[in-house]
Amino acid sequence: MGKSSRYRYVSRREKWNRTRRNVNLVLIFGSIWAVLWMIMKRHEIIGWLKTYTY
């Protein structure tokens, strides 16, 4: 019985670690995607700034 209870506790911790890891991956990929999108849209943003400032 002790073995099964320990396994359940470990599985719960594993599940929590997995979800946390997934959240971290999502955050990392989201930030990378945002940076790439900004780099891609940089020309458009610079053009907009020029049209508005000049």
Segment 6-52, tens digit of pLDDT? 666 778 888 888 899 999 999 999 999 999 998 888 888 888 888 88
Number of Cβ within a 10 Å radius of residue 34: 10
Domains in the chain, number: 1
Kindly state the tokens that stand for 29.
Answer: 């990929």
Give, as one character, the DSSP assignment of residue 41.
Answer: T
Q: Can you give the residue range of the structural domain that contains 46? A: 2-53
Q: What does the longest C-alpha to C-alpha distance in the chain come to?
A: 76
Give, as one character, the DSSP assignment of residue 10.
Answer: H
Q: What does the DSSP assignment read for 4-51?
A: HHHHHHHHHHHHHHHHHHHHHHHHHHHHHHHHHHHHHTHHHHHHHHHH
Confidence of residue 54 (pLDDT cuts 50, 70, 90): low
